[in-house]
Amino acid sequence: MSRAQDKPALRDLPDIRLLVLDVDGTLTDGRIAMGDEGEVCKFFSVKDGLGIQMLAAAGIRLAVITGRRSRIVERRVAELPIDHLVQGCSNKPAALKELCVGLGIPLAETAFMGDDLNDLAAMALCGLSACPADAARDVWNAADYVADAEGGRGAVRAFAEDYLRAKGLWADAARRRFGAEVED
């Protein structure tokens, strides 16, 4: 039995208007290549990018809150329909609350996807919490949804597809974003 099957069905979880993502270990596989000049590369999944596009096509806003600062993350976020990027954040719950107030979206209509201990407090504030399959044990235990994919290897895509299909939004989002005819 997969970890995701141990959790409540997504259709029974709250509707969300905002998904907030962590970066290292969630949008990436958690590896950071460092050279003499500092950070050289991070590994992102194009599948996660498509999942993000599908969420946006379904009308769900997207944001990133991360503890590190990275030009690489700025570039990746600029390629995607992510409205807000908060970097160098040492207090993710405070940043999350500020973001929700600014957008006029209640925390109960917000989801947070993270992978490690520094994400737990922000996840606990939201109506829906999610994590990659390889998240830290405490995060996995606290999450409402656990993806079948690992961080940086399609975890965000898995969440997007599972959530949108469960809510009956997948087919409409695919039609709007890509002109594709698919079933929910």
| Mean pLDDT for the stretch of residues 124-140 | 97
pLDDT of residue 1: 27
pLDDT of residue 52: 98
| Mean pLDDT for the stretch of residues 94-117 | 98
Residue 116 maps to which CATH number?
3.40.50.1000
pLDDT at 176 over 90: yes
**Locate tokens 């979880």: which residue?**
13
Q: Would residue 179 be called left, alpha or beta, if left means φ above 0 and alpha means ψ between -120 and 50 degrees?
A: left
pLDDT at 133 over 90: yes
Q: Tell me whether residue 48 is in a domain.
A: yes
pLDDT at 2 over 90: no
Residue 85 sits at φ, ψ, to 5 deg, of -130, 120
| Mean pLDDT for the stretch of residues 32-44 | 84
pLDDT at 7 over 80: no
Query: Exposed, middle or buried: residue 96 (CB in 10 Å: 0-12, 13-18, 19+)?
Result: buried
Tally of domains within the chain? 1
pLDDT at 4 over 70: no
- Domain of 169 in residue numbering reads as 14-174
Q: Tell me whether residue 8 is in a domain.
A: no
**Locate tokens 């996660």: which residue?**
48
